[in-house]
Amino acid sequence: MSLSYHGSVRPMGVRRLSAVVVAGAMAIAAVSLAPRPAAADTPWLDVSEDGYASFSVPAAYVQANAGQVSQVVIEGNFGPSFGWAEFGLTRRGDVWSGVLGPLKPGLYSYQVTGDDTKSLKDPTNAAGVASTPLRSTFLVAGDSARLLADAPEGQGGKVETLTYEVKKQERSALVWTPPGYQAKAPGPKGPGPQGPGSEGPGPKGYPVLFLQSGDDRSATDWLDLGRAKQILDNLSIQGSVEPMVVVISDGDGPAGDKDLKDLRKAVGDTYNVLRDPAHQAIAGVSEGGSQALRAALTTPGQFAYAGSFSGLLEESAGRVDAKAINRDLKLVRLYTGNVTDPAYNATNRLTKALKQAGIRYEFDGVNPDGGANWNAWQENLIDFVPRLFRNVSDHGPSAGHGPLKGEFTPPPAGTTPTPFVSEGGFVTFETTTDFKDAKHVTVWANVAPGGSWLRLPMSRDGDRWRVTVGPLDPWFYYYRVIVDRVAVKDASNPTKVTSEPTWSTFLVPGERSRLLSDVPEGKGGKVESLTYHSDVANQDRTALVWTPPGYDPDRAEPYPVFYLQHGSGQSYTDWVEMGRAKQILDHQFLDGDLVPMVVVMGNGNVSNFNKELLDNIVPAARAHYNVSSDPSQQALAGLSMGGGQTIGVLKAYPGRFAYIAAFSAGFGGGTGVDVAAINSGTKLFRVYVGDVTDFVYPSFMAGLTTMNDLGVHYEFDGVTPGPHGWDVWQKNLIDLAPRLFKR
């Protein structure tokens, strides 16, 4: 099976601060932890055209406003299903920095946080969130997010604030009027279905959608996070919606039904809207969705359209008149995210209750990549609004959405090793009871784009902490638990990483991760320990050796041998425990893609690697295994430090190994390089690197220039999307191993 993991090379220095920092229509100025000015005008955030977010936070600003901190993270909706997560920055000189991406097109919100609790607003980003003043926002452009972009100047609608009273308490709502909106013509007030003033000349009136935010959210969130104005503007310009007035409120307020009644009256008195039920719609998010359904189901005849976006209503609102509801309601449409959405189980119960009550409804299907967040609700609004006040032919779910498959219930606490991997790539992490008094617990794992690392907040569940995340793509994952800024191992997970005792691992199965999974028992090769004496380290050391299925120590023709090296801070065990080298080699051999070979994974943590390899590791391998000494049957590769060591051997001993590869390592300088010897003695010199999140990317690209200038023959098939991490290096090995000993 051939898999391609390579991407295009990203030109050095070509980045732009896209038009991605966009303020909501009703955003207010946000306040940081302390109202101090920024240390400099340089933006803390730079977003490239291809979706990489580069953060650079001045350490002096953090210290001045939050005090001395040991860590700084960017909290934002960067996690799976756009869930909340923490992206750790690295202190480099006077700046805390990091690069995350490529991010999917969409709106992101974030804040800067030191030591778990000291949060700051980015003072260089004016785009804020009125309800959460420490947050900033930015938009990653792309075709799937085109409706979230600002409409061309002068072509969109308008947003105003409507003030009204409920039981002598002043309340307010936001009102969007469509492009070309015509206010009520002046005239005598009188009764009638079209509202006061409708007798005068002008338009007969607009239908109206009441959009609820719910008790736990603000009306302004629909603008700052839901991008409601942009969505409504763009749909209107496209002609995809009927001209309507949209009223956005916090919810039904403390006065319950009376608040909604008074709001509707205030809208009717102020705006040119139709008051008859056929031209009234209501929808909302979360608890606002529950409120919308209650209003529509308990008192039919008020609204003709109702939508619930991740609503939490589980029953059909008590005793209902199904006949009246089906007669008066033209549309009841339900939306939910995947199993990480609290509405998933509630929607499952609600659909059963509606069916039992005989109430007609539509279901948009389960959004496989959305949870209970504004990114999913933006999609819900985009689907819902074009269905209002018109006839539509499509009543099915959105493309890619699936059916409900019953309720999602992770195993009871303490009953299974963690993580618990569910169908579809949803993973539940759980701690032991050892951290019941902790203040802040996260799972730090390679779940960001390309295999970068994010910290996923866990929530208390009795004496434990727990979180369900996903969907994760089929692949190999590693993680550790961070408890009040201290890394600990998941004691319930028996997997181990020798060089990193706090890490644990797990596999999400699927075709994409097939080469990283175990082959059937007895079908694969063997991994054995090889003990040898190191003159360089002056001690006995160990290497791991993979021999192919059917390995014959007495075969007349010695086997080709591949020496595979680890990186800095790692050891000879890492290619097996983290790199999945055994699984990769087993599968490729059984697939017929691999020349039968012996693979030696030695310990490269020495002061003189060239001597260690040539005088200690290679002789030991030849003494214990039936491997060739012919340079044409020998290969050498390594990652990071091991890649640098590999290139060092190539420069010092050109032609000793006919196959050379370096993963995430630069070529270095060209002084003293015997180019002719390298080119004549090397059958394959192949180099690999991650994307711009791989910190060696600049030096690697400089190395390409050096090799080009020298005339060194090499192969480079583009970047491997991902950081300086195992996701990249596993893919590099998958690409390299089948190329060996075939020329």
User: For residue range 210-259, what is the model confidence (pLDDT) as tens digits?
Assistant: 999 977 789 999 999 999 999 999 999 999 999 999 999 986 554 455 68
For 669-699, the pLDDT digits (tens) are 999 999 999 999 999 999 999 999 999 999 9
**Residue 135: half-sphere exposure toward Cβ, Cα within 13 Å:** 21
Is the backbone of residue 115 left (phi > 0), alpha (psi -120 to 50) or beta? left
- In percent, the amount of the chain with pLDDT more than 90 equals 86
Q: In this model, does residue 352 exceed pLDDT 50?
A: yes
Average pLDDT of the chain is: 91
The whole-angstrom separation of Cα 238 and Cα 147 is: 10
The whole-angstrom separation of Cα 585 and Cα 637 is: 15
Q: In this model, does residue 188 exceed pLDDT 80?
A: no
State residue 27's pLDDT score: 32
Please name the residues in contact with 640: beta carbons below 8 A apart, sequence gap of 6 or more.
567, 568, 663, 664, 665, 696, 724
- In percent, the amount of the chain with pLDDT more than 70 equals 91
H/E stretch holding 645: helix 641-652
State residue 246's pLDDT score: 98
Output b/e per residue, 163-193; b: 16+ Cβ within 10 A: ebebeeeebebbbbbbeebeebeeeeeeeee
Contacts from 347-356 at CB under 8 Å and sequence distance 24+?
347/311, 347/404, 348/404, 348/406, 348/407, 349/314, 349/315, 349/407, 350/311, 350/313, 350/314, 350/315, 350/316, 351/404, 353/314, 353/315, 353/316, 354/316, 356/316
Choice among 20-29, 470-479, 642-651 with the minimum mean pLDDT: 20-29
728 close to 450: Cβ distance less than 8 angstroms: yes
The crossing angle, in degrees rounded to 10, of helices 228-238 and 374-384 is: 30
H/E stretch holding 637: strand 634-639
Altogether, the residues listed in the chain come to a count of 743
Q: In this model, does residue 427 exceed pLDDT 80?
A: yes
Name the pLDDT band for 34 (thresholds 50, 70, 90): very low
Q: In this model, does residue 624 exceed pLDDT 90?
A: yes
Cis bond before residue 449 (omega within 30° of 0):
no
State residue 164's pLDDT score: 92
Show the 3-state SS of 435-478.
HCCCCCEEEEECCCHHHCCEEEECEEECCEEEEEECCCCCEEEE
State residue 190's pLDDT score: 43
The whole-angstrom separation of Cα 172 and Cα 347 is: 30
Choice among 104-118, 180-194, 473-487, 648-662 with the minimum mean pLDDT: 180-194
State residue 620's pLDDT score: 98
127 close to 27: Cβ distance less than 8 angstroms: yes
State residue 184's pLDDT score: 83
Q: In this model, does residue 185 exceed pLDDT 80?
A: no
Mean pLDDT of 513-531: 97
Task: Report angle CA 381, 136, 141 to the nearest 5 degrees.
Answer: 55
The whole-angstrom separation of Cα 186 and Cα 528 is: 90
For 9-18, the pLDDT digits (tens) are 554 333 333 3
State residue 308's pLDDT score: 97
The whole-angstrom separation of Cα 185 and Cα 200 is: 5
The whole-angstrom separation of Cα 155 and Cα 143 is: 20
State residue 216's pLDDT score: 74
Q: In this model, does residue 200 exceed pLDDT 60?
A: no
The order of strands in the sheet holding 362-366 is 158-166, 169-177, 245-249, 208-212, 280-285, 305-309, 331-336, 362-366
Name the pLDDT band for 447 (thresholds 50, 70, 90): very high
Q: In this model, does residue 378 exceed pLDDT 90?
A: yes
State residue 487's pLDDT score: 97
State residue 128's pLDDT score: 95
